[in-house]
Chains A and B, each alone.
Chain A
């Protein structure tokens, strides 16, 4: 009775990434009400800087009050449903995006399309760039949501670009070529590459070399490049953020064919910590893409009230500058807390400089170098340690044992508690290991003494006989 899309599991929502969430919903940690509940470390949300937003809102009641210069503009906003978006908001947004990139690149607001969140932006871009059955290449590990957002209704396929820990999961030329060949083998026409820069789940900014490599690759193959830069404002450490637009400018690619095939996805959910507002954007130099995406955005427009509120907020340059730098400071601090806490438990992380999470190396805690063992460990961490973290397999990582752990969606105390639980868990593991090995060595001892005894017996006999 229902469509195939509704009945099949192509929404990709059966992976562990989502199951962990369900468990968390059933037994969520709460400082007072449920102190032994599951702590959510699988949600990449930034709750560190709400106070800054709250104080701005308190000082600017007109913005939320549908007023401009003291005059009510409610009527205008109530009726505003133009899919070209509120011009004042788009202007403020592109200027904000430019600011995050150190003003090294500037954006034209007429090339920006607003959507209800980056989820909608990514899907819309897929609808615009690829036909059903065609493919995009994505470097692994990647955000589990892509399996749903990019593929479900669009019918587009994802072919992974395998990255490995041997070089910090960086994208290499051979990996790109390999992925392209794989797609050909599967009879899939490759329409482009999609990268997340800074990366989710790695938390690293894409290096200039990698970006140049990508530009070369898409030039050679005549395909698109989508750069999901949703975390661009969360870069808290060196090396800084390099936008793909900057690389194109440096190579004098403005107004070339390649320039038109590079598209950026953005959102205010991570940089500004406002995922509830549902604000996403597509930026493209291709007029056809902008036109098609604009019309498609009818299926996911941003509320005019929200657009107006944010246009005022983002136009307050003093506020945005302060917010971005303060937010980055706090992220850096939290990040440090997490990695030192993990180090204390003998766990390393991939060196990272951005994002709301760390890519944690728990390979040494696996019982075997397999994904089954990773699942085993993940389940133990979920049910026994009571932490919801994201297993690398749900991010399509090729090596078992990596996990994404978020650090910005909880209070400091909660993070400390989580770190304590991890330490306790790791300690218990090594005690178990010690017990196990002692047990093992006891067994070995017994076996050895038994053999000795048998040997001695036989030897005695022989001695007797030989005499």
Chain B
């Protein structure tokens, strides 16, 4: 009760403030308000004085006022509340013309009592006690009745089958004379889904029909309309709610799913597009050059066949001109040369490697290499080094005196070929040399190289294997072809049975070949066919003994020491050591075969041929004389 009293007191105070005016302004005939003071008491009597609730005109033709009346009569003097009104032009207050029509505690003013655009003042009194007073103009209190006749029609359904458009119509309140234009109403429509709480509003409109767009199928909607006088602020009451049932129209089956996916689908589309744009930008920036090439391909430069565009870049105009001036063939040659040169340039620069395959170099030593024009040429890009091939014997031997025949088989074979050519020539020389066997050094060089070799050989005591100049001291002072030193002849057979080898007596072989084998023929009867250049050892013995060997022995021996012996039987390159004095006797007695079988190799320095085993040749052996293979030798020897 105390709270209620406090609230009432506050309300009365507020009402007093809103209606209070100065006393001096009540003289001009307007409604005046008297200030009402309410004493505050500890237990204030809750006086809810009658006051106007509202005065309202629905159609601008009539109006009515309503007031409150609560338990007042019980507290104060009993009486009826009167409403007095006065218009601006009137002079006195008039009583309410109709207390009934508008209901209880109301006063109704019909059209005859209603004047528009005229200020009215009404007051509530009870006898002389004024409870409330109010002044207004009728055109200011217009609150129309609610519209009637709401209905809706379906306009269309969207293609997706999700949304629909409807048209809502209504009628103005029948009380309002809008046809003649006495009152102009504007309407406000509100709608919402059935299960929602918030109404959606449309802008006030002057028409009585409005379309509603994008209503969802499968849902139910509520629609209500209210009206107000144009240019006024207060709306009338809402109309009855119109129920729009769109659920009766069955949506497409996928509508629910699609509607649920609308939002994420939109996001996906947006982000997908953004991603595609980013990827395209990355591709553009990364493949900028390639795309540029694709879109704007470079103009192909004129290409002349056979010309290296690098030449143009380097500015070698001479070469370019030469190329251009010549025909294609020339161009090819030049181009090939250039490429060949270029190719050469890429080769390794070590000249020693080139000569690795040559054993001669190893034998000769580095100094020989340097003097060798061929090998000494540095392997540069000029290509001159490649024109020098160590395999070419001519070049080798012509180039230097040291290009001796090596122990290389190939070389020896070639040299042997040479030897045969020179056999006949040497023969004459040999004959001459035989006459003067004392001059071992006086050798008539058939070949310059050989003479050089012969001269150098005696000076060098090192045991080197090479086709040493054949110094046939026994037979001739000149060893015909130095290369023929591949052949070794048995110069002597020791009593122990070992054979002393000496450098091949080529003159002997030649003689046999040339059939000018006169001297040996004198002394020994050739019991062997002459078809073979090689002798059996037995046969050789006989021939050798006939030959003069005494004088040549020391030389031979000397030279045996010096000279190398080369055996072609097994391609063993060894240095034969002169057995020594034992060889002297044997060497003189025995003919000198070119080939001698080797059956024992004592050491790298010595080679001993066991002749004792040999003198027991089988017939087989004899028949196949000339060469005793190691197999045969193994049979013979223990």
Mutual binders A and B: no
| Chain A residues in the interface with B (C-beta under 8 A) | none
